[in-house]
């Protein structure tokens, strides 16, 4: 299976900060990479697919980049609603795998 490694595990930030989360794959997944946001007690929400395509309805302050084995999710100016846990996920193979998650918390 392809292993996905996210960093950092936790981010302590303030409203208005620029946030960058990194995801590395153990082998190339081309652009078959998605990002999700999850809040406590809720199902994850798709933010970005194909590494850089924004899902419909997702605010433009979210953006994704990268290809191959290195990917980034950026939140340009963190809003109060953005405090959550973020996961990357590869779907290059039918065996989908997730990163371990990055919790974005209030500083």
Partner 1 sequence: QVQLVQSGAEVKKPGASVKVSCKASGYAFTSYGISWLRQAPGQGLEWVGWISAYNGNTYYAQKVQGRVTMTTDTSTSTVYMELRSLRSEDTAVYYCARDIIAGRIPFDYWGQGTLVTVSS
The residues that touch partner 1, with contacts defined as CB under 8 A, are 1, 34, 36, 38, 43-46, 49-50, 53, 55, 87, 89, 91, 94-101
CA 90/CA 107 separation, integer angstroms: 30
Task: Indicate the residue among 44 and 64 with the shorter CB distance to partner 1.
Answer: 44
Task: Indicate the residue among 17 and 97 with the shorter CB distance to partner 1.
Answer: 97
Tell me the closest approach of the beta carbon of residue 16 to partner 1, in angstroms.
Answer: 28
Tell me the closest approach of the beta carbon of residue 45 to partner 1, in angstroms.
Answer: 8
Tell me the closest approach of the beta carbon of residue 41 to partner 1, in angstroms.
Answer: 9
Task: Indicate the residue among 17 and 55 with the shorter CB distance to partner 1.
Answer: 55
CA 66/CA 63 separation, integer angstroms: 11
């Amino acid at each position: 299976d392809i292993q996905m490694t996210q960093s950092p595990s936790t981010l302590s930030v303030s409203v208005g900060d620029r946030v960058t989360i990194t995801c590395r794959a153990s082998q190339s997944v081309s652009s078959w990479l998605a990002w999700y946001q999850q809040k406590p007690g809720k199902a994850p929400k798709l933010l970005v697919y194909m590494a850089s395509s924004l899902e419909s309805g997702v605010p433009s302050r979210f953006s994704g980049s990268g290809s191959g084995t290195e990917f980034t999710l950026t939140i340009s100016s963190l809003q109060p609603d953005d405090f959550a846990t973020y996961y990357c996920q590869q779907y290059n193979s039918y065996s989908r795998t997730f990163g371990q998650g990055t919790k974005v918390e209030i500083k």
